[in-house]
Amino acid sequence: MNEILEELSGRIVIVGSGLAGLMTALTLAPEPTVIVTRAALGVETSSAWAQGGIAACVGRDDSAALHLADTLAAGDGLCDAKVAARILAEGPAAIAALERVGVEFDRNSAGELSLGLEAAHSLRRIVHAKGDGSGATIVRALVEAVARTPSITVLESYEARRLLLDGDHVAGLLCATGKGTVILPSSRIVLATGGIGGLYDATTNPVGNFGQGIALAARAGAVLADMEFVQFHPTALDSRRWPLALVSEAVRGEGALLLNEKSERFMAEVEGAELAPRDVVARAISAEIARGGRVFLDARQALGNSFAQRFPVIDALCGEAGVDPSHELIPVRPAVHYHMGGVATDEAGRSSVPGLWVVGEAASTGLHGANRLASNSLLEAAVMGIRAARDIADTDASQAKLARGNLSMAAPDLSLVRPIVSRHLGVLRNAGAIHGAIAALLPLFDEDGASADPALVALLIAVFASLRTESRGAHARTDFPLKLPHAQRRTMRLSDALDIARSVPPYSLARSA
């Protein structure tokens, strides 16, 4: 029989300790909460690795309407404009809330927030902390705030493996710990498990994060949205490091240029040039690499000796790879960076499963559409963490019935799934590749072993990708290069996706390169 942590019964359980999870817990205080997190608090989070900062319309010449216009343009017709407008309008309040819990953002000599520029933003609006150490600075401050908050219990090195239901209502969470499997009884659970980067070889994300929140919610019957939209960051530092380090867009924002191995500025003729939306730049770089070329960022002229001062973290990462960005070219390549899709939620972070909220990158609110605008994700994580907390505080706390049992799950193993996803669901896709992925992933899901959860998340990406017969935002199909006239978001439950996967003709992997 699994041990049930009765002493924590009735508390709100939050899974994940990135910005979304930490903000949810801190906003709920003094309501008792439990944070369940796979590693130490704040560690193994994309949040702590963020460099650029948080987009928020706090500048004197900025407005929520301008921020919305840039977000909708990057989202390539697929943003939910109403949801986006409301989330973006709360940017300045989210910055103030972060400052109240102790985050110190960079300010200029006049004491105003100093603002960076990133790709596809029409003006400077990226609030940052300690230069390019924004994520680490924010997460450190929030972790310290959690330590000062007695109502928050932290369970580190606990991995959420299954949601337990009473009918269709959330009733508890099954977790693996170093000492075995335990159950947390709770009828109010928040998933803040981050992105899916771990599914790919070339990723900038913590490699153990493969979309566990999506797997948990999907198995509990939640509606998923826009799963095919996986954002590739155009400029990961091309080195032996795993995961790949990022060279933030802010470097291009300061004027660095993209060159190929022939020193040609191949983005010069493209609208927006180096600061075009991410999908455009990623496709252009992929094309250079696909023809056997190499791609570099040239910051020598734009930043030169000031590089290390403006971008200390990136400078150190380059140094680790033997590159001095003030005098040398920085080798770059695209890598999986962000997932626009996820568990469908409303504006309060509620999923379709009663008692289940999903916030941050694991959710799909409709803010990002087909392509996230740079630095809108930390903003969404903070705003939605605050909103979900306020919504939960108003809900019924009575405990749902928890069936006793003896459940155990194998630790997730990504080794069989990663090569399939990396080869078939990359920057450029086509029907053969997508169907090949489905054919290879389905048996791994059906075997119900250690590959099942990563295979489930990958299968959802592949099934959604198979249905989108157009190229839009981050979803680029070589067999459907054009955009359909009417953009539509897509939602589906796991059961529907499995039906579709099982009806796909069994293409062999060999035929589907």
Binding site for ligand FAD (CB under 6 A): 15-21, 36-39, 44-47, 49-54, 134-135, 159-160, 192-195, 204-205, 209, 212, 246, 337-338, 360-362, 375-378, 381
Q: Which one of 11, 188, 278, 300 is the catalytic residue?
A: 278
| Closer of 438 and 455 to ligand FAD (Cβ) | 455
Sheet holding 126-127, edge to edge: 54-55, 126-127, 115-116
| Closer of 37 and 186 to ligand FAD (Cβ) | 37
| Closer of 71 and 134 to ligand FAD (Cβ) | 134
Residue 499 CA to residue 318 CA, distance in Å, equals 46
CB of 198 to ligand FAD, least distance (A): 9
CB of 273 to ligand FAD, least distance (A): 21
Residue 378 CA to residue 371 CA, distance in Å, equals 15
CB of 175 to ligand FAD, least distance (A): 7
φ, ψ (nearest 5 deg) of residue 13: -105, 130
86 contacts 71 by C-beta, under 8 angstroms: no
427 contacts 283 by C-beta, under 8 angstroms: yes
| Closer of 335 and 439 to ligand FAD (Cβ) | 335
CB of 450 to ligand FAD, least distance (A): 14
87 contacts 68 by C-beta, under 8 angstroms: no
Residue 132 CA to residue 311 CA, distance in Å, equals 5
Tokens 């972070």 identify what position? 349
93 contacts 100 by C-beta, under 8 angstroms: no
CB of 227 to ligand FAD, least distance (A): 16
Helix residue spans in 34-193 (DSSP H) = 46-49, 64-74, 81-89, 91-100, 134-147
278 is catalytic: yes
| Closer of 374 and 438 to ligand FAD (Cβ) | 374
| Closer of 71 and 204 to ligand FAD (Cβ) | 204
3-state secondary structure labels for all residues of 271-339:
CCHHHCCHHHHHHHHHHHHHCCCCEEEECCCCCHHHHHHHCHHHHHHHHHCCCCCCCCCEEEEEEEEEE
CA distances from 415 to 11, 50, 179, 452 (A): 35, 26, 24, 12
Residue 76 CA to residue 78 CA, distance in Å, equals 6
Tokens of 127: 């609030």
| Closer of 208 and 432 to ligand FAD (Cβ) | 208
CB of 286 to ligand FAD, least distance (A): 19
Cβ atoms within 10 Å of 77's Cβ, excluding its own: 18
What's the sign of the alpha-carbon dihedral 480, 482, 485, 487?
A: positive
| Closer of 232 and 338 to ligand FAD (Cβ) | 338
Which residue's Cβ has the minimum distance to ligand FAD? 18
| Closer of 49 and 507 to ligand FAD (Cβ) | 49
CB of 261 to ligand FAD, least distance (A): 25
Tokens 């592949």 identify what position? 462
CB of 84 to ligand FAD, least distance (A): 14
Residue 123 CA to residue 92 CA, distance in Å, equals 16
CA distances from 101 to 21, 93, 105, 131, 150 (A): 14, 13, 12, 20, 15
227 contacts 93 by C-beta, under 8 angstroms: no
CA angle 161, 165, 166 (to 5 degrees): 160
CB of 394 to ligand FAD, least distance (A): 23
Please list the active-site residues.
278
